Amino acid sequence: MNARRILLLEEPTWGGVHTMTRTLADALIAQGWHITALAWRQTPWSALVHAAQQHEVIVASHNFGPTYCGAALKAITGTPLVSWVHGPLIDVLHEAGASALKQLWLRLIYKQVNQFVCVSRTTQDTLLSFITLGQGQRCNVVPNGIAPMPEGQPLHVHAGHGGGSLPPLLLGYVGRLSAEKRPRLLLDTMRHLPTEAQLGIVGEGPMHRQMIHEGMDLMVQGRVHFLGKHPSGQSLYKPWQMTLLTSRYEGCPMTALESLACGVPCVSLPIPALRELYDLDAPYLLARGDAPVSLAEAVMTVLSLPEQQVRDDMARIVARHHIDGFVGNWQEVLQAMKV
C-alpha cells in the first residue's frame, strides 16, 4: 500500500462531522497512513502553511470553513485539496439565506478543489446542481462508516408511566436543538402518540428554551425529558425502544446509523438522504409524510412488526456502512491524488 502524508483540517465543534473526522483519522492511522490533524481555526497560519508544505494531500473535513482554508493553503503551496461534503449543499445554503454574492464566491472557491468526497448520492446530486466540475476535478460518493462504539457513560432515563396505564414506550432524540433539525416536530409527534409514550431529548442548542416553553404540558405529564448533553456511545441509544429524526435535511446521518448499529430502530421523516438509506431494506422506518401524525404512525407501525424482521433489516443497512468499506474507499481516493 502506498500510504501518504495527509494534512486533515478539522472543525472540532460540529457533532456528526467531528465524529466522522475522528473515525477517518483513526482508521487511516491504523492502516499505516501518516495523518496530521489540525484545527484550522485554532492553528497559527504560519503553522498551517508549514504543515501543507510537508504533506502530500490536504483533506478539508467540511466543504465550508475547512475548505476555504484548504483552498488558500493550496494556492500558496500547490498541495492537492480534497473537500469532504456532508450536507446537501442547496438545502444548507437555503437554510442559511446565502446571498447570490456568497454563492458566487463559493463557486470560485470550489474551483480550487481537486477532489470532492460526498457522504451520499443525495449530497452529490445537490453539489453537482450547484457547480460544474472543471478539468481535473473529480467527485466520489463515500458513505459514512460505523466504527465499533464504546458503551459510554450510563444515561439516566425516566421510566415512569407518563400518565398511561401500560408500560412506557421509551423514545429518544439525539442531536442539536436547532432550526434545521426541526425539533419542535418531536413535541407535536408526542401529542399524536399514546400517553405511555415518553421522549428523552439528548442535546442542546439555540431552540432549547423554546422547546421547554412549548413542551411544558408534556413535561408536566412526565412524557418529555430534557437530558442535556451526553458523551457519545451505545448508552445514547440502548435505553430507547426507538429513536426519532425530524431533520429538514441530512447528508448521511450518523444518528440514524449509530442507532441502527445499537439495534434500535430510527424512525425519520421521508427526506431524500433517509430514503436513500432506508428504501432498500426498511422503508417502514420512514414516515409517509412530513406531518407529526405521520411520524407517530410510523412509530406504531414499527412496533407492530416482528422484532426479528426489524433486527435483520437494520443489520443489512449497518453492514453496508461497515468501517472497513468506508476506510477502503477513502484510501482509494487518497491514493489516486496527484501531487
Instruction: Point out the least confidently predicted range of 40-44, 101-105, 145-149.
Output: 145-149
- For residue 112 the three cell numbers come to 480550487
Task: Confirm whether 327 is domain-assigned.
Answer: yes
252 phi, psi to nearest 5 deg: -145, 85
Q: For residues 92 and 183, state if they share a domain.
A: no
Q: Judge whether residue 63 has pLDDT over 90.
A: yes
Over residues 229-233, mean pLDDT? 83
88 lies in some domain: yes
If you average pLDDT over residues 179-197, what whole number do you get? 96
pLDDT band at 205 (very low <50, low <70, confident <90, very high): very high
Residues 35 and 4: beta-carbon distance below 8 Å: no
Q: How far apart are the first and last CA of the chain?
A: 17
Q: Indicate which CATH number applies to the domain containing 57.
A: 3.40.50.2000
| Grid cell digits, residue 158 | 425516566
Whole-angstrom distance, CA of residue 242 vs CA of residue 86: 25
37 forms bridges with which residues in the sheet?
A: 8
**pLDDT band, residue 231 (cuts 50/70/90):** confident
Q: Counting beta carbons within 10 angstroms of the beta carbon of residue 141, is it exposed (0 to 12), middle (13 to 18) or buried (19 or more)?
A: middle
The backbone torsions φ and ψ at residue 119, rounded to the nearest 5 degrees and listed phi first, read -80, -10
Does residue 287 sit in helix, strand or coil?
coil
Q: Is residue 152, in this structure, part of any structural domain at all?
A: no
Provide Rg for the chain, Cα atoms. Answer: 21
User: Residue 89: what pLDDT?
Assistant: 95
138-184 confidence digits (pLDDT tens): 999 999 999 888 887 777 776 665 555 678 899 999 999 999 999 99
Whether the predicted pLDDT of 80 surpasses 60: yes
Instruction: Identify the pLDDT of residue 164.
Output: 55
pLDDT for res 339: 57
Integer Cα distance of 94 and 219 in angstroms: 33
What pLDDT digit, counting tens, does each position of 105-131 carry?
999 999 999 999 999 999 999 999 999
The boundaries of the domain holding residue 47 are 5-145+322-335
Indicate the number of domains in the chain.
2
Q: Dihedral of CA 175/181/182/185: which sign?
A: negative
Task: Tell me, yes or no, whether 97 and 178 share the same domain.
Answer: no
